[in-house]
Amino acid sequence: MRNSSRHITGAVLGVLLTPAIGWGLGWASGELVRAFRVFDVGVDLLLPSLVIVAIGLAIAVLTSERVSPVAALVPGVAFLAAGLLFMVSTGTATRVMGWLGSVSPALISLASFGLLLLLGTVLFASALMPGRWREPGTTGPAVGDGIGGHPGAPFPRPEDRSPWGTT
């Protein structure tokens, strides 16, 4: 896959997964809090727990090296903005998150703990790694140190080297 199509696919993936992660976090954390509040720790915990696991897997895919960094950049900016907005102006963030309906109380709770800020920072920082912007399969510039004779040659083993610098 060419680099440009990889980034376009990553942007689409990021746009699709951003609301899914946000809604899933809001719904699952709200359900878990409700179940624990009434001590209903049975089957009601299974689906929200599986949603949290699926969100963790989606975040792992977004931060992996094979996926375009744009896929992590889109939700990273969104969650970072939501977390920063909550830290700067709680009232405005509460009104903005209120548009989300039934998941908004749980998202507001997550934002108040700084978890949206943490998630946004992790996704944003993973997108900034320079190696992720290269096309898969390519490496950076080859740098030889002269020890092995050519770039990529193995270093001599320590037991093969003399302590006086000659081999």
Find out whether 71 and 62 touch, Cβ atoms under 8 Å.
yes
| Radius of gyration of the chain, Cα coordinates, nearest whole angstrom | 23
- And the tokens for 42? 């049975």
In tens digits, the chain (167 residues) has pLDDT values of: 677 888 899 999 999 999 999 999 989 998 888 888 887 777 778 899 999 999 999 999 999 888 899 999 999 999 999 899 888 988 888 887 777 666 778 888 888 888 999 999 999 999 998 888 777 666 555 444 445 445 555 666 666 666 676 65
106 vs 26: CA distance, rounded Å: 5
Find out whether 127 and 79 touch, Cβ atoms under 8 Å.
no
- And the tokens for 89? 């102006």
Domain ranges of the chain: 3-130
Q: Count the alpha carbons within 13 Å of 122 in the hemisphere toward its beta carbon.
A: 13
- And the tokens for 155? 């270093």
pTM: 0.74
